[in-house]
Amino acid sequence: MARPTRLLCVLLTVLALAVPGTAARADDLSFGVLTQRSPVLTAQYWNPILDYVARKSGVKLALKVPRTAPEANAAIAAGEYDFTYSNKIFNPRPGEPAYRVVARPDGPPIRGQIVTLADSPIRSLDQLAGREVGFPSVTAFVGYGVPMDHLIRAGVHVTPVFGGNQEGIMAQLKLGKVIAAGVNDQVMREFASREKMEYRVLWQSQPYHNLAIAVHPRVAKATADAVQRTLAGMSADPEGMAVLQASAALVGQASAEGFVAASPKDYANYEDFYRNMTVKDFR
Amino acid sequence: MIGRGAILWKRTPLLGRLLVTAGLGLMVAEAVMLGISARQDAEDARTDLQEELKTQLVVLPPALAEYVVVGDFATLKQTLDRVAGDTRIAEVYYIDQSGVMLRSIDAPPPANVPGWFRHLLGIGDITGTAPVTVGGRPYGELTVVLSAQAQIAHIFAQLVYHLGALLAALAVGFAAMWQVLRNGLRPLTELEAAARAIADGDLSVRLAEAGSPELRSVIVAFNQMAEATGIARHRLEFSNTELVRLTEVTAHHLQEPSRRLVTFSRRLRTALGEQALPEDAAASLTYIEQQAGRLRALIRDIQLYLAVDQSNDEIAPQSVAVAMGLVLAEKGRREQLEAIGAEVTLASTLPEVALERRRLVNVFDILLDNAIRYRRPDVPLHVHVSADWTAGVIRLRFADNGRGIEPEYRQQVFRMFERLHPMPGDDSTGVGLAIVQRIVEHAGGRAWIEETEGGGATVVLQLPTGVP
């Protein structure tokens, strides 16, 4: 490549890296999502929902999909997102913004699970002792924090292996690269349905509400309320239901689930977990 | 230019014409085929590029979507660089909704192909754009530029390869054709040599049958012609020889009676005495003497005419002045000329001619006798011998100031026994100019008569400069 051309490309790259890569306009509010699926699938799931919210409430939300869960957590800790869909808002450290829960998915609660392939010789957690077990990442609440906490309390010492996100570790499990994995039961079910995979649940946790939609304190209450109302009424609106059904079909959900208004009290067991957890590297 | 081409073409032998014609025909045909093939290749290449562009615009946006969604522009740029590394992709760039552009250029160097060829093919780089949309939301636009350089270079290389193969095939074809034609036409060369040999008098030459069926047929016909010509010539020579022999014998046998006729008529005149003879008897006797003399002159001239073909003397360049000197030095010639007050002059420069000396003397003898015989009675005879010569030709001019010859008789007088306006006492045989013409033509020349400036006849003898 000629030198002037190469220089131009470098300048353009630097310029591009200085600007967030989104489909957003300058006046859009950001909506950061904790990565549970691949970034593209996440965007395919959320963008139609956010477009619906914009059409109905007038609040334009720009989807922000971080590359990894730690990135998402860091962004939340730094208060970069105006709205977030995450479960990393229940244990804020000093100086971190106190995101407020405004809504949650209207579906069954999620559980942490330790699973293995259906044809695996592993039948109980004891058989995992000393083995490598896969987890999405050190930041996955029901995928790592909850199941690992249980393994430690049960005295089953395993070597954790991380797949980057939920989809990543489930793919490794399917390929047989790990003997067992800690997963989100819903995401696991959807993945298995999509990939025609059969698996066995070795253990599962108490139910937790799925990730919460929370708002940054800087966002005006009226805006937060508008978003909350729109999301909560989505399943009652045929247009909203159509969007939800399309998104559900995309990720392999058995049925479309809407959103309901929620408050911090709905997530009290999260706070309990954080107070008593034994997993030192869970962040 | 066309004139030079036509001249060159006329000078080109049949072999060359056939090769040039065949070569041009093949070249034109192959050039047309190569042109059509190249255009078809170009059309295929254009279709390939369009198909590939369509594919890239379908495949690339989903492949880049993950980096676009997470805003990982560094990885996106690396991916674009990798994409641009594809041999056909010259440039790829992504522009997001805010107008930020990521661009990778890796255009292949321009193919080493002449400009006219690119123009002829009519294909160039093509560009296509596709939106990058995830979940119904546009994130930006991806533009791909596909380079046609590789295809152009490939088509040109194919053309050069085919052209090289064509030229090699033509060279081999030419060599084979040249060999076949040369061998095939060799009998023609031999035929030409044989025809020249026949033209030179060698009727014994025959050709062996060779070459193509057509040439064999020509050779058979040629041999038949040579055979027939030889037989005809043999018959003609035999007949001519017999005729000459008969004429010679006749002349020889006529010579003796004519001589005796002269001798005995003289004796009779002596025995009778001039006075004793009646007038009509003396006139008859005189007439007998004159006719006997004329008969002897006729026999002599006929013998001279026949002798032209039978000379064995070596032909060497002869001086015209020397030959004329010999004529003037003949016995009684000087007295004859003085008696009539005649003057003979020669040009200061006279050439040599390729003719037997005695024949040259015969010619001048006859011409001088004619000049004397047909002089004007009231004008002193003046004869002037001159010459001019150009490349390969000498013209001797024997001019007198005599009575001259009317234009309509100037050809006629060269016939045997032809005499114009015979006068009493005219002892001309009518053979002289026929002998002159025969001698000159035998030497490869010709003779004719012109009018002398101021009156009289000029006999022009045109002779070749070399030995005939």
Tell me the whole-structure pTM to 2 decimals.
0.54
pLDDT recorded at residue B203: 85
Q: Which residue among A15, A38, A46 places its CB closest to the CB of B135?
A: A46
Query: What is the DSSP code string of A57-87?
Result: H---EEEE--SSHHHHHHHHHTT--SEEEES
Interface test with A, best of B60, B94, B137, B143 (most A CBs within 10 A): B137
Write the residue in A26, A51, A64 that is nearest to B137 by C-beta.
A51
Distance of CA B164 to the CA centre of its chain: 39
Cβ–Cβ of A21/B68 closer than 8 Å?
Answer: yes
| Tokens matching residue B290 | 């004159």
Length of chain A: 283
Question: Do the Cβ atoms of B72 and A46 come within 8 Å?
Answer: no
pLDDT of residue A22: 47
Phi and psi torsions of B64, nearest 5°: -95, -10
Q: Do A44 and B138 touch (CB under 8 A)?
A: no
B80: burial class by Cβ within 10 Å (0-12, 13-18, 19+)? buried
Per-residue confidence (pLDDT) for residue A132, from 0 to 100 = 95
Q: CA B307, CA B96: separation in Å to the nearest integer?
A: 121
Residues of B in contact with A20 (CB under 8 A): 71
Give B117's contacts (C-beta < 8 A, 6+ positions apart).
B152, B156, B159
CB A267 within 8 A of CB A101: yes
B68 contact A CB<8A: yes
* Contact by Cβ (8 Å): A193, A254: yes
Other C-beta atoms lying within 10 Å of the C-beta of residue B208: 9
Contacts of B140 in chain A (CB under 8 A): 23
Banded model confidence at residue B2, pLDDT cuts 50, 70, 90: low
Using alpha carbons, list the distances in angstroms from residue B86 to A102, B145, B228, B415.
49, 11, 86, 103
- Which value does ipTM take for this structure? 0.71
Q: What percent of chain B has pLDDT over 70?
A: 95
Whether B322 contacts chain A with CB within 8 A = no
Is residue B106 within 8 Å of residue B80, measured between CB atoms?
A: no
Q: Do B101 and A42 touch (CB under 8 A)?
A: no
Computed over every residue of chain A, the mean pLDDT equals 87
> Nearest CA to CA, how far is A160 from chain B (Å)?
26
Looking at residue B464, its pLDDT comes to 81
**Edge-to-edge, what's the strand order for the sheet holding A212-215?**
A61-64, A29-33, A83-86, A212-215, A100-105, A259-261
Looking at residue B311, what is its pLDDT? Answer: 63
A18 burial type by CB count under 10 A (0-12 exposed, 13-18 middle, 19+ buried):
exposed
| Chain mean position to CA B444 | 22
Decide: A70 and A283 in contact? Cβ < 8 Å.
yes
B103 touches chain A (CB under 8 A): yes
Whether residue B97 and residue A25 make contact (CB cut-off 8 A), yes or no, is: yes
- Nearest-Cα residue of chain B relative to residue A15: B100
A5, closest residue in chain B (CA to CA)? B105
pLDDT at B34: 84
The CA distance from B142 to the nearest CA of chain A, in Å, is 14
Per-residue pLDDT, averaged over B431-449, amounts to 90
The pLDDT tens digits for B179-194 are 887 787 788 888 889 9
Closest CA to A239 of A53, A103, A85: A53
Looking at the partner chain, which of A23, A63, A65 has a beta carbon nearest the beta carbon of B97? Answer: A23
Q: Select from A223, A225, A222 the least CA-distant residue to A60.
A: A223
| Whole-angstrom Cα Rg for chain B | 50
Unique residue bearing structure tokens 């029901």: A142
Pairwise CB contact (< 8 Å): B66 & A38: yes
Q: What would the mean pLDDT of B108-113 be, rounded to a whole number?
A: 74
User: Residue A43 phi/psi, 5° resolution?
Assistant: -65, -40
Reading the block at residue A209, the tokens are 């509400």
Report pLDDT for B468: 41
Question: Which of A17, A31, A52 to mutate against chain B (most B CBs within 10 Å)?
Answer: A17
- The CA distance from B101 to the nearest CA of chain A, in Å, is 6
CB-CB contact of A260 with A104 (8 Å): yes
Q: Is B67 on the interface with A (CB under 8 A)?
A: yes
Task: Give me the helices (H) in B383-455, please.
Answer: 432-442
Q: Where is average pLDDT lowest: B269-283, B370-384, B435-449? A: B269-283
For chain A, say whether B89 makes contact (Cβ under 8 Å): no
Chain A residue set in contact with B, beta carbons under 8 Å: 1, 5, 8-9, 12-13, 15-17, 19-26, 38-40, 42-48, 50-51, 63-67
| Helices B357-373, B320-328: inter-axial angle, 10-degree rounding | 50
Tell me the pLDDT of chain A (283 aa) as tens digits: 444 444 444 444 433 333 334 455 557 899 999 876 788 999 999 999 999 999 999 999 999 999 877 788 889 999 999 999 988 888 777 788 889 999 999 888 999 999 999 999 999 999 999 999 999 988 888 999 999 999 999 999 999 999 988 889 999 999 999 999 999 998 899 899 989 999 999 999 999 998 899 999 999 999 999 999 999 999 999 999 999 999 888 877 778 889 999 988 898 899 889 888 999 888 7
B77 touches chain A (CB under 8 A): yes
B92: nearest CA partner in chain A: A9
Mean per-residue pLDDT for B350-377?
A: 89
DSSP letter assigned to residue A144: I
- Taking an 8 Å cut-off on Cβ atoms, the answer to whether A39 and B135 are in contact is no
Spatial separation of the C-alpha atoms in residues B18 and B26, rounded to whole Å: 12
Q: How far apart are CA B320 and CA B355, in angstroms?
A: 10
Check CB contact of B192 with chain A, cutoff 8 Å: no
Model confidence band, residue B116 (pLDDT cutoffs 50, 70, 90): confident
* Residue in chain A lying closest to B85 (CA): A1
pLDDT at residue B210 in the model = 81
The helix/strand count (H/E) of chain A reads as 9, 11
Q: Return the pLDDT at B314.
A: 66
The pLDDT tens digits for B34-68 are 888 888 888 888 899 999 999 999 999 988 998 99
Picking from B69, B96, B138, the nearest residue to A39 by CB comes out as B69
Q: Centre a 10 Å sphere on the Cβ of residue B77 and count the other Cβ atoms it contains.
A: 22
H-type alpha helices, A113-220 = 146-154, 166-175, 185-195
| Residue A56, pLDDT score | 95
Distance from CA of B103 to the nearest CA of A (A): 6
Give the nearest partner residue to B135 out of A19, A38, A45, using CB atoms.
A45
Output the average pLDDT for chain B: 85
Long-range contacts of A246-254, Cβ-Cβ distance < 8 Å, separation of 24 or more: A246/A48, A247/A44, A247/A45, A247/A46, A247/A48, A247/A49, A250/A41, A250/A44, A250/A45, A251/A37, A251/A41, A251/A45, A251/A190, A251/A194, A252/A190, A252/A191, A252/A193, A252/A194, A253/A186, A253/A190, A254/A189, A254/A193
